[in-house]
Amino acid sequence: MILVVEENYGFSTVINPTNPPMPYLNSLAQRYALATQYFANTHPSIGNYFELTTGQIITNDDSYSNTVSVDNIVRHLVKAGKTWKEYSESMETESKKLLSELQKKTPNPDEIKKIATRLTASCNTCHSEIRDD
């Protein structure tokens, strides 16, 4: 399953059969499925991402950095033996900022290395911040 979430653009700007700005995405929507009745439940966006992954709005605070302990879709995928990936715009920049902050707060170099490896495993493929432990 692939779920594409586009934000900051109106539906007709992204899905446009006559003059598609994203032709490949439009072809996938025509060939497979297109959810047309999903609307934001809250603003800013972080609450909607929690709604998609946990079924509830955990917070609307964009600077939220706590571990999410409630049940979530990632746990179900892992339990079922499925793999998952998240492709996020600007995640590399955010990961580098987070790593920099952690280096200031965490004196243990082994812990920093572990976190750095997790955060920078791939600049284009970033795993969700919702942990499965």
Q: Predicted confidence band at 56 (pLDDT cuts at 50, 70, 90)? A: very high
Look at 33 and 132; give whichever has higher pLDDT. Answer: 33
- Give Cα 22 to chain centroid, integer Å: 20
Angle at Cα 61 formed by Cα 55 and Cα 62, nearest 5°?
100
Give pLDDT, residue 25.
84
Domain borders along the chain are: 11-66, 71-133
C-beta separation of 72 from 54 below 8 A: yes
User: Considering the chain, what is the average pLDDT of its residues?
Assistant: 74
Give pLDDT, residue 123.
38
Give pLDDT, residue 17.
78
- Please name the residue that has the structure tokens 């791939």: 122
Q: Within the chain, where are the H helices?
A: 11-14, 23-31, 46-54, 73-79, 91-105, 109-119
- Tell me: the pLDDT tens digits for 77-93? 888 988 877 766 655 56
Q: Predicted confidence band at 133 (pLDDT cuts at 50, 70, 90)? A: very low
